[in-house]
Structure 1
Amino acid sequence: MNTPGSVVFQNIRKTFGAFTAIHDLSITIKPGTLVTLLGPSGCGKTTTLRMLAGLEHPSAGRILIGGKDVTMLPANERDVSMVFQSYALFPHMSALQNVAYGLESSGMKLKEARERAEEGLQLVGLAGMGDRLPAELSGGQQQRVAVARALVLEPQVLLLDEPLSNLDARLRRRVRTEIRELQQRLGFTAVYVTHDQDEALAVSDHIIVMKDGRVAQEGAPRQLYEAPASSFIADFMGEANVMSCQVIAIEGEEAMIRLGSLTHKVPKRDVMQAGEAKLAVRPNAITLEPAADAPFGGVISHAAYLGDHVEYEVETEAGRIFVVDQAVDRILPSTTPVSVGFKQRGIAIITN
């Protein structure tokens, strides 16, 4: 592999007629990292990837790859390779021929291209399968052929556009693990686009969550999940209960909050003051105990047993909340009055 490259977007704007798809986007991707662009449909993540690939050009701003300004360069003059959502394999060519195609097209001699293609297939765990046509391979194997075809070109940056969307849930879990292990082993820079939060959490060094053509929040997977900055991030990065609370004191790196008569400490945010606030609470960070009278109480309105956990809906003074409880040996029926408590993790003050 060539030396992995950095990626820098400087004040990128992209318009289509009167519509602005990307607003003043500035991001930096470090060499050798896997960074995911995550967000709902229409948020601008695919447009961002296409601009990086050279399939679209920005209306304003600069794009640098490995320190080189590539803003207006065509796709074939950028040191990137792309794995498409559809894999885009030639159905009449064998796996080996598909992997070698880009090398041969660049002028490499046939023998050397085939040797490099064999190495590429071995790299992704498909040694000995080079003679098979795409139709003779499983979905996961086809996906790995597409990755091998991109990797043998030794790009500074590998781009992956929803690479697992055509696979079933079980295969997606396995293949995302393979992609992550391959990236860590080879150390290449990867920019990965998905709308799947679990996928992003599983594969990424860094996640950039986009909304309406802007960066809503970015950070390490754990940071985004445990310290969402807004109700949008809290709900998009896994379910969250958003409740009104009172910040009654700030002590060092912690803030004391109050819900009803219950007080609880949570991590302090950068900008915080006493007064009204919003609290994001993960469903598995809530505890329930039968109790007729509690500092912060409620009544169970619905209980559902799902094998390894129980899901509850609870009516409280802060509104209806959703709770996931691992205590399957004790299922609390509807109409049970409960005391609502909170664990130390999975709770964060949100700013908007």
Structure 2
Amino acid sequence: MINQKAGSVTFENVKKTFGAFTAIPDLSLTIEPGTLVTLLGPSGCGKTTTLRMLAGLEHPTAGRILIGGKDVTMLPANERDVSMVFQSYALFPHMSSLDNVAYGLESSGLSRREAREKAEEGLSLVGLAGMGGRLPAELSGGQQQRVAVARALVLEPQVLLLDEPLSNLDARLRRRVRTEIRELQQRLGFTAVYVTHDQDEALAVSDRIIVMKDGEIAQSGAPRDLYEFPASSFIADFMGEANVIACEVVGIDGAEADIRIGSLTHRVPAGRAKPGAASLAVRPGAVTLAEGRGEGLAGRILHSAYLGDHVEYEVETDVGTLFIVDHAVDRILPAASNATLGFKNRGIALISN
């Protein structure tokens, strides 16, 4: 469901410089109404600068930004019809949860009674009905973040911006709150632009992920596409750990390619591959591991670590040392033992060098 108030977002050849430093050289992208798109990347990649330009907290050096088809490039933040959820929650500590949510509504001209009614509706939306009288200090971190989301949503913006919204929460709470944010976005159908450096978070909440590097888009697509079909070794390693190894494309048959990895041959999606030397991204869980020598890629166990539901291995092979995750915890291969490696059909992809 798409909310009728949800707006599109467009960046047209946007450039942003800070003195002699170019943070964003030339950015063009479009975000469809009613979708949750995540800007993902390491520190310094330009994702936060992009979000701040969308929010009106920074202005582009060149190019245009449109929200709902309207050029907002030089408009101040309060005229952009966006709301922002900050990493630090930014709640007023002396005000109740209800008053925090109602604050923006009252500032926009609603009467106190109308603002509080809408604020109560907002708290109900995020599962905090009946908790409006509590101060932020009386709430858990996850509850405080939900108050911040409610405060942003009640303003009914065209676009909701979320800047590292879960980074102050512990791992278990992050999983729960990210699920709540995703379910809320899907139920209400608002447009959201979500900034994070956490790959798991991006995979869990997004309709589309835009991975940024050095102020540019390294790859954009659905979570599954980016994880299973990375376009480069940077994407392969950033979207979850990957072994990047040399291989040879020995034949192409339509959409599939036959590759040779050491003494092992395997078939993978061809993508844009051409015959000859290539690189292969192999997820740690995409490698099969058998004890002793057999048909496959020969290896020697360098290290093994039992982690409850899986075992992590470092295995020396002719194509380099591979990191492998094996869920066969009933047998653990000891260091210095011989092993034979194979590859599954999923979790491996040819990539550009």
Q: Once the two structures are superposed, what CA deviation does each residue of 1:128-171 show, in whole Å capped at 9, x if it has no partner?
A: 00011101111000000000000000000000000000101000
Partner residue, 1:197: 199
Which residues of 2 match residues 328-343 of structure 1 at below 5 A?
A: 328-343=329-344
Out of 62-71 and 294-303, give the one that drifted further: 294-303
The CA deviation at 1:41 is: 0.5
Are residues 1:158 and 2:160 paired?
yes
1:110 aligned to which of 109, 112, 129: 112
Partner SS, residue 61 of structure 1: strand
Conservation of the 8 A alpha-carbon contact between 1:12 and 1:60: yes
Which residues of 2 match residues 198-277 of structure 1 at below 5 A?
A: 198-269=200-271, 271-277=272-278
The CA deviation at 1:187 is: 0.3
Partner residue, 1:40: 42
The CA deviation at 1:224 is: 0.5
**How many angstroms apart in 2 are the aligned matches of 1:297 and 1:261?**
8
1:55 aligned to which of 57, 70, 73: 57
Are residues 1:140 and 2:171 paired?
no
Using structure 1 for the length normalisation, give the TM-score: 0.99
2:190 aligned to which of 188, 191, 200: 188
Partner SS, residue 272 of structure 1: coil
Are residues 1:303 and 2:290 paired?
no
The CA deviation at 1:293 is: 4.8
The CA deviation at 1:209 is: 0.3
Conservation of the 8 A alpha-carbon contact between 1:2 and 1:156: no
Structure 1 ranges of 4+ moved more than 4 A? none
Percent same amino acid at aligned positions? 79
Are residues 1:15 and 2:17 paired?
yes
Q: Once the two structures are superposed, what CA deviation does each residue of 1:82-117 show, in whole Å capped at 9, x if it has no partner?
A: 001111000110000000000100111111011000
The amino acid across from 1:320 in the alignment is T
Q: Once the two structures are superposed, what CA deviation does each residue of 1:174-221 show, in whole Å capped at 9, x if it has no partner?
A: 000000000000000000000000000000000000011111111000
Partner SS, residue 91 of structure 2: coil
Conservation of the 8 A alpha-carbon contact between 1:38 and 1:210: yes
Using structure 2 for the length normalisation, give the TM-score: 0.98
Partner SS, residue 245 of structure 2: strand
**How many angstroms apart in 2 are the aligned matches of 1:137 and 1:129?**
9
Partner residue, 2:280: 279
Which residues of 2 match residues 48-127 of structure 1 at below 5 A?
A: 48-127=50-129
**How many angstroms apart in 2 are the aligned matches of 1:141 and 1:185?**
19
Partner SS, residue 328 of structure 2: coil
**How many angstroms apart in 2 are the aligned matches of 1:257 and 1:292?**
21
**How many angstroms apart in 2 are the aligned matches of 1:198 and 1:210?**
16
Q: Once the two structures are superposed, what CA deviation does each residue of 1:17-54 show, in whole Å capped at 9, x if it has no partner?
A: 00000110111101000000000011000000000000
The amino acid across from 2:292 in the alignment is A
The amino acid across from 2:326 in the alignment is D
Pair 294,336 (structure 1): closer, same or farther in 2 beyond 3 Å:
farther
**How many angstroms apart in 1 are the aligned matches of 2:170 and 2:28?**
34
Which residues of 2 match residues 311-350 of structure 1 at below 5 A?
A: 311-350=312-351
Q: Once the two structures are superposed, what CA deviation does each residue of 1:200-249 show, in whole Å capped at 9, x if it has no partner?
A: 00000000000111111110000000001111110111100010000001
The CA deviation at 1:2 is: 5.2
Q: How many residues align?
A: 351
Gaps of 5+ in 2: none
**How many angstroms apart in 1 are the aligned matches of 2:229 and 2:320?**
22
Conservation of the 8 A alpha-carbon contact between 1:260 and 1:295: no
Q: Once the two structures are superposed, what CA deviation does each residue of 1:40-82 show, in whole Å capped at 9, x if it has no partner?
A: 0110000000000000000011111011111111000001000
Partner SS, residue 92 of structure 2: coil
**How many angstroms apart in 1 are the aligned matches of 2:218 and 2:352?**
12
Partner SS, residue 42 of structure 1: coil
Conservation of the 8 A alpha-carbon contact between 1:66 and 1:156: yes
Partner residue, 1:173: 175
The CA deviation at 1:335 is: 1.2
Conservation of the 8 A alpha-carbon contact between 1:34 and 1:203: yes
- Computed over aligned residues only, the root mean square deviation of the Cα atoms, in angstroms, reads 0.8
Conservation of the 8 A alpha-carbon contact between 2:160 and 2:190: yes
The amino acid across from 1:31 in the alignment is P
The CA deviation at 1:296 is: 1.5
The CA deviation at 1:272 is: 2.0
Partner SS, residue 43 of structure 2: coil
**How many angstroms apart in 2 are the aligned matches of 1:292 and 1:192?**
48
Conservation of the 8 A alpha-carbon contact between 1:95 and 1:132: yes
Partner SS, residue 163 of structure 1: coil
